[in-house]
């Protein structure tokens, strides 16, 4: 396996979108940031140099980083931010991942503009489990606010309310020609009739699960989250923030121009910008007239059935070369409620949440608050007490009808804290996420760092611990790092805790993560060098 070097210079640069110009944080001046190409099993050394006026960290989303939490990136969990003028050399260790992942900033809301794709090819000499495509094309969805992101973030902290909706979903950084001033801000993919293209779709949006489809073309889904899936055809896809989906596009239509389009799916948000964002699929032998193109049909914005039906079709390949290793009898059983809540408005502010509260969110009724003076990993490694607690509840503190209407008062206001769950090395874990109807409920794309998990079951309503496990898929469950827990529903995942380190888990909707829907796992060292965390690099950023 190769070791490749990159330099990421973080700078503020002006970009113009939707009729206005603002400074954004970007890596090497590019928005979206550059695509990193590796072969399975390679290692990247990325020197991150912060020449911007803001703190920042970089996370390699979905890269398991065996024994190496040091370069994982979530601020105040595995490192302190890289301050203006500072640098940090990060080691990104690829192991079992193959397909598409991505990198993004993991500090406050800097990931709004600081993100890029990671393409992981098979090992040299190895092949895809499908015919080799003519070309592969990263397509990364994002969100653009005309407002300054730091301002948006500050306002949100002050008001304790919902963030302003973004002004547009973007496709490779561009909203497409259906927005004002955007006729030329449209990503264009040129294809040759008769060829097949591998579209590597990445949802880097801050706040939205998305639908995507291509006019007149079916898509063949072949991968998700750095793994392959059993191929299936669909005329649209659902993709959660954090998730990647690989699809084959067969350019088998008449030589012409076609829209690719995306818009968000939401089960709960009210006043949001429902404009459809577009990119152009241009057959090389077609002319350049793009007037009167018709949009592909996308499910309705509130179509929960369409959202979950797509996700439920994902299945691991589960063949000799891509075996499935689902823990059969998990010994660690965790049951986490994920809720929207309110907390009292901090003194000196006037909050716009219900009854003057601020909006919050929680896992097992603990709303996460970072310790900004010492990160969890440093505290754990150096055995410094008091920086975090290790009694995160493994079950909800009370039980009731979580998806019903009579929520007990004691469950509406969460505790706050920075508590971790400690897992023994190699323990087999089942984790059930239970959505709740507090504040109405909403879908939550939950993301785990450090390992993928098998998604073995899901449903609406309350998880039934006697009957639901009977219908688990233990044969070919998809192996994901992000799974959307449907509104007022549940998802069960299983994994083996064999990556020693400190690993964050959170909702990948940025507002929910900010409000406290986050927690941390510590996986203890096992016996022997291969089961022990690597030593810290010499240049860990100080707090
Ligand atoms: Cu995509 Cu904690 O991150
Ligand atoms: Cu959420």
**Average pLDDT taken over every residue of the chain:** 96
Pocket of ligand 1 contains residue 447 by CB under 6 Å = yes
Q: Is 506 a pocket residue for ligand 1 (Cβ < 6 Å)?
A: yes
The structural domain count of the chain equals 3
Least distant ligand from the CA of 266: 2
Distance 480 CA to ligand 1 centre (A): 13
242-264 pLDDT tens trace: 999 999 999 999 999 999 999 99
From the CB of residue 346, how many other CB atoms can be counted at a distance below 10 Å?
Answer: 11
Structural domain ending residue among the three candidates 290, 316, 342: 316
147, two tokens: 């407002």
Pair (272, 343) in one structural domain: no
Q: The tokens of 417 are what?
A: 């804290």
Residue 274: exposure state from Cβ atoms within 10 A (0-12, 13-18, ≥19) = exposed
- Report the SS3 class of residue 304: helix
What 8-state DSSP symbol labels residue 499? Answer: S
What's the CATH code of the domain at 217?
A: 2.60.40.420
Residue 298: is its pLDDT beyond 70? yes
Question: Is 102 touching ligand 1 by the criterion CB < 6 Å?
Answer: no
Specify whether 45 is located in the same domain as 159.
no
Ligand nearest to the CA of 444: 2
509 band by pLDDT with thresholds 50, 70 and 90: very high
What average pLDDT score do residues 354-360 get? Answer: 94
Question: Could you say which ligand is closest to the alpha carbon of residue 57?
Answer: 1
Q: Which residue has the tokens 């874990």?
A: 429
Q: Helices marked H in 1-108 — which ranges?
A: none
The DSSP bridge partners found for residue 244 are 202
Please check the confidence at residue 360 and state whether its pLDDT lies above 60.
yes
Which run of H or of E encompasses 467? none
Residue 111, ligand 1, Cβ within 6 A? no
**Whether residue 379 is found in the same domain as residue 523:** yes
pLDDT, tens digit, 9 for 90 and up, residues 529-539:
999 999 999 99
- According to the model, what pLDDT value does residue 32 have? 98
Number of neighbouring beta carbons within 10 Å of residue 382: 10
Tokens 């669909």 locate to 234
What length does the chain have?
A: 543
- Ligand 2 centroid vs 13 CA: distance in angstroms? 31
Q: Return d(Cα 248, Cα 238) in angstroms, integer.
A: 15
Instruction: In whole angstroms, give the CA distance from residue 189 to residue 183.
Output: 15
Domain with 29, as residue range(s), is 1-125
What is the four-CA torsion angle of 354, 357, 362, 368, rounded to 10 degrees? 160
For ligand 2, a single-atom ion, which residues have Cβ within 5 Å? 444, 507, 509, 512
Residue 163 CA, ligand 2 centroid: distance in Å? 14
- Cβ–ligand 1 distance for 104 under 6 Å, the answer yes
Q: Answer whether 53's CB lies under 8 Å from 27's CB.
A: no
Q: Is the ipTM of this complex over 0.90?
A: yes
Query: Within a domain: residue 172?
Result: yes
291 and 375, same domain (yes or no): no
């Amino acid at each position: 396996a190769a070791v490749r070097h990159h330099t990421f210079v973080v700078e503020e640069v002006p970009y113009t979108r939707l009729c206005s110009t603002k400074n954004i944080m970007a890596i090497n001046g590019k928005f979206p940031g550059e695509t990193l190409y590796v072969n399975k099993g390679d290692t990247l050394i990325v020197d991150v140099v912060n020449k911007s006026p803001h703190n920042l960290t970089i996370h390699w989303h979905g890269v398991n980083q065996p024994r190496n939490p040091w370069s994982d990136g979530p601020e105040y969990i595995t490192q302190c931010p890289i301050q203006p003028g500072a640098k940090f050399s990060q080691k990104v260790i690829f192991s079992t991942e193959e397909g598409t992942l991505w990198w993004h900033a993991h500090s406050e809301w800097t990931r709004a503009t600081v993100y890029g794709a990671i393409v992981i090819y098979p090992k040299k000499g190895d092949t895809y489990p499908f015919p080799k495509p003519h070309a592969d094309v990263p397509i990364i969805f994002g969100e653009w606010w005309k407002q300054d992101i730091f301002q948006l973030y500050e306002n949100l902290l002050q008001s304790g309310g919902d963030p302003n909706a973004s002004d547009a979903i973007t496709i490779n950084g561009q909203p497409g020609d259906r927005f004002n001033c955007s006729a030329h801000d449209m990503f264009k993919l040129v294809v040759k009739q008769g060829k097949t293209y591998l579209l590597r779709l990445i949802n880097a949006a801050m706040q939205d699960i998305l639908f995507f489809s291509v006019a007149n073309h079916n898509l063949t889904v072949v991968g998700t989250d750095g793994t392959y899936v059993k191929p299936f055809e669909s005329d649209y896809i659902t993709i959660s923030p954090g998730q990647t989906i690989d699809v084959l596009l067969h350019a088998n239509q008449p030589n012409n121009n076609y829209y690719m389009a995306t818009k968000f799916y939401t089960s709960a948000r009210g006043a949001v910008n429902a404009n459809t964002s577009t990119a152009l699929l241009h057959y090389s032998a077609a002319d350049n007239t793009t007037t009167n193109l018709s949009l592909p049909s996308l499910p309705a914005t509130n179509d929960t059935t369409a959202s979950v039906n797509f996700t439920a079709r994902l299945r691991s390949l589960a063949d000799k070369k891509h075996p499935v290793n689902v823990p059969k009898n998990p010994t660690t059983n965790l049951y986490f409620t994920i809720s929207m809540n309110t907390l009292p408005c901090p003194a000196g502010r006037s909050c716009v949440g219900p009854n003057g509260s601020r909006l919050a969110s929680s896992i097992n009724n603990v709303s996460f608050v970072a310790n900004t003076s010492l990160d969890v990993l440093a505290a754990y490694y150096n055995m410094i007490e008091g920086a975090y607690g290790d009694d995160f509840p493994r079950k909800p503190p009370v039980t009731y009808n979580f998806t019903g209407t009579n929520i007990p008062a004691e469950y509406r206001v969460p505790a706050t804290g920075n508590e971790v769950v400690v897992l023994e090395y190699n323990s087999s874990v089942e984790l059930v996420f239970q959505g709740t109807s507090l504040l109405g409920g909403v879908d939550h794309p939950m993301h785990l760092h450090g390992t993928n998990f098998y998604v073995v079951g899901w449903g609406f309503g309350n998880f039934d611990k006697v009957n639901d496990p009977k219908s688990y898929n233990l044969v070919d469950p998809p192996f994901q790092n992000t799974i959307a827990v449907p509104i007022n529903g549940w998802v069960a995942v299983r994994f083996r805790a064999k990556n020693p380190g400190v690993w964050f888990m959170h909702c990948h909707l940025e507002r929910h993560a900010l409000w406290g829907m986050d927690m941390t796992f510590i996986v203890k060292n096992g016996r022997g060098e291969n089961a022990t965390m690597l030593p810290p690099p010499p240049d860990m950023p100080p707090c």
